[in-house]
Amino acid sequence: MVSQIPERIEPGMPDQDRTATGLFGGVFARGRAQPTDTAWLQAMLDAEAGLARALERAGLAPAGSGAAVTAAARAGDFAVGELGRLAALTGNPVPALARALARRVPQGAAGAVHHGATSQDIIDTAAMLLARQTAGAVLADLARAADAAAGLARAHRSTIMIGRTLLQQAVPVTFGLVAAGWLASLDEAREGLVAVGSRLAVQFGGAAGTLASLGGDGPTVAALLADELGLAQPPLPWHTNRLRIIDVASALARVTAALGTIARDVTLLAASEVGEVSEGNGPAAEHGASSAGPAGSSAPRRGGSSAMPHKHNPVAAIAILGCTRQVPGLLATLLSSAEQEHQRAAGAWHAEWEPLTALLRLAGSAANWAAELLGSLVVDVSRMAANLAATKGLPLAEHVSSLLASALGGAEAHDLVAEASQRAVAAGLPLRDVLLEVPKLQDRLSAAGITAEQIEAALEPVGYLGATDHFITAALEAHQSLEARLAKEGRDG
C-alpha cells in the first residue's frame, strides 16, 4: 500500500456529522471533519496502526501484525473518559492508549504496538491527520463560498453602489467589485491551505529523536510509516521544531481572516440603515424547520430574536465573526508554544493541543457558515441605488475635483470642492446646485473655463467607476486559473 505524499489536501474526506453536538455546537462546530475527542482518538489509533503496518513491512513485526492492530484500532471500542483520566498520570493519553490497544490484539501482534515510538510521535502524527481532514472539509466549503462569490461578482458587475471608507460614503463602486474582492481573498486563502498540504509530515523519532530503539532500522520504518499514512517524511524528527504546527495554524488563520472580513462587510451592509444585503434562508433555517414540532413553536425563527419579533439578524455572518475573532489569540498561543526546549518540551508541547483543536474546529465552522452565507445572500439593488443618491452628489466630489485640477491645480481644486461640499452638507443641497448656483463658486468655475455640462457629467456615478470592470475581470480570471490548477492537481495527484 503505497500512497502519495499529498501535495495538496483532498477536499473529499469521508463525512462525519454535519453539525457537532454541544450547547454551542450549532454556532462553533459546524461542517464535516470536526476534531472531536473521538476524531482525535481515531487519529491516534490510525497512527498506531500505521506504525504496526510499517513495522511489519520492515520485517520488524510478525506477518499479520499490521492487519491485527489496524483491526483493533477502532475509536468506538475505547473508553475516552477512562483514557482521559489516565492521561493525568503521564501528562497525555498515549501511554494508556498504547497499553489498551496492545491488550486488544493477539499476543503475537502486541509487540508491534507503539514499538519505537514515544507519545509525542503518536499525538503529533494524529494532529497532522486531523489537520488534513479539517483542511479538506474547509477547502470544500471554501470552494462553494468562492463559487458563490464569483457568481455575485458576475451578476452584479454593474450594480452601482456607494463605496465607503472609514465608514463614510466615498466614491461609487459596484457590488460586483465588492464580491470580486471577497473572491480574491477566498482564493488566496484556498491557495495557502492547499500549499500547506506538503507540510503535513509524519512525526517519528522515539524517545529523543534518534529512533534508537529501532537500531539501524529507524529511517526505514519512518519512511514506511509516512507512506502508510500518506504524510510527508521530514529530514529529521520535528519534536521541538514546531514550524509545521505554525504553518497549519497560519494557513487556517488566513482562512478565518478572509472570512471575518466578508462577514463584517455583511453585518454592516445588512445594518438597518444600509440594508443593501440580507441573509437568505440557508440550510440552518431548513434544519430548524424540520426539527420543529407540529405546532411549529419548538424551534425559534432563523435570525429571530428572543425579544424582538421584527428582527432579521444576519446569523451566519455573526456566527462567522464569533468563530474568526477567537483565532488570533489561539494562533498567538501556538506561536508562543513553539519555543520548545531540548529534545522534547515540558509544557509548551502540551499547551498546543487545545488551541490547535479549537483552531481546526473554528475554521471548519466558519467556512461552513460562509458557504451557506454567500450561497444565499440576498442583494437589494434598489437600496444600493437609493443610498448612493442620498448624499446628493457628494461622492462624486473627487471626480469634480479631478475635473477642476487640470484647470486650477490639484490643491486649489481640492479646496474649492471641499468648500462646496461643506456648503452642500450645511444647506442640505445637492452638490450640483452649490457648484452651479453659488455665485462665488460659479464665477471661479467660469473663470477656469469649466461648463455646467462638464460638472453635470462629472456628477454621474456610472462615469466614475474607473478600473472597476477591469478589476472584476482580473479576479474572475484568477479564480478560473485557480480552479483549473486545482482540478488538474486533483486529476494528477
Site for a copy of itself in 59-118 (CB under 8 A): 80-96, 98-100, 102-103, 110-111, 113-115, 117-118
> What is the nearest approach in angstroms of a copy of itself to the Cβ of residue 249?
9
> What is the nearest approach in angstroms of a copy of itself to the Cβ of residue 295?
9
347 phi-psi bin (left φ>0, alpha ψ -120 to 50, beta other): left
Of 30, 244, 254, 344, catalytic: 344
Candidates 10, 37, 433, 483; binder of a copy of itself (CB under 8 A) is: 37
CB contact at 8 A, 427 and 434: yes
The interface with a copy of itself within residues 246-285 (CB under 8 A) comprises 246-247, 250, 253-254, 257-258, 260-261, 263-265, 267-268, 270-274, 284-285
Q: Is 41 in the site for a copy of itself (CB under 8 A)?
A: yes
> What is the nearest approach in angstroms of a copy of itself to the Cβ of residue 243?
5
DSSP, collapsed to helix, strand or coil, labels residue 378 as strand
Q: Is 478 in the site for a copy of itself (CB under 8 A)?
A: yes
Between strands 160-165 and 168-174, the pairing is: antiparallel
CB contact at 8 A, 426 and 394: no
Task: Rounding to the nearest 10 degrees, give the CA dihedral for residues 81, 85, 91, 96.
Answer: -70
Q: Is 126 in the site for a copy of itself (CB under 8 A)?
A: no
Give the position of cell 478600473.
467
Tell me phi and psi for residue 312, to 5 degrees.
-135, 80
Annotation says 491 is catalytic: no
> What is the nearest approach in angstroms of a copy of itself to the Cβ of residue 42?
11
Q: Is 31 in the site for a copy of itself (CB under 8 A)?
A: no
Q: Which three cell numbers stand for residue 251?
A: 494557513
> What is the nearest approach in angstroms of a copy of itself to the Cβ of residue 491?
25
> What is the nearest approach in angstroms of a copy of itself to the Cβ of residue 110?
7
For residue 135, the one-letter residue type is A
Write each residue from 310 to 329 as x if it is in contact with a copy of itself (CB under 8 A), else as -, in one continuous string: xxxxxx-xxxxxxxxxxxxx
- Separation of CA 491 from chain center: 24
> Distances from the Cα of 293 to the Cαs of 299, 315, 392, in angstroms?
8, 22, 51
Candidates 390, 427, 484, 487; binder of a copy of itself (CB under 8 A) is: 390
The residue (of 143 and 475) whose beta carbon lies closer to a copy of itself is 475
273 phi-psi bin (left φ>0, alpha ψ -120 to 50, beta other): alpha
Q: Is 427 in the site for a copy of itself (CB under 8 A)?
A: no
Candidates 69, 105, 397, 438; binder of a copy of itself (CB under 8 A) is: 397
The interface with a copy of itself within residues 207-226 (CB under 8 A) comprises 207-216, 218-219, 222
Determine the size of the site formed for a copy of itself (CB under 8 A): 202
Q: Is 170 in the site for a copy of itself (CB under 8 A)?
A: yes
> Distances from the Cα of 22 to the Cαs of 25, 148, 252, 354, 356, in angstroms?
5, 29, 23, 16, 19
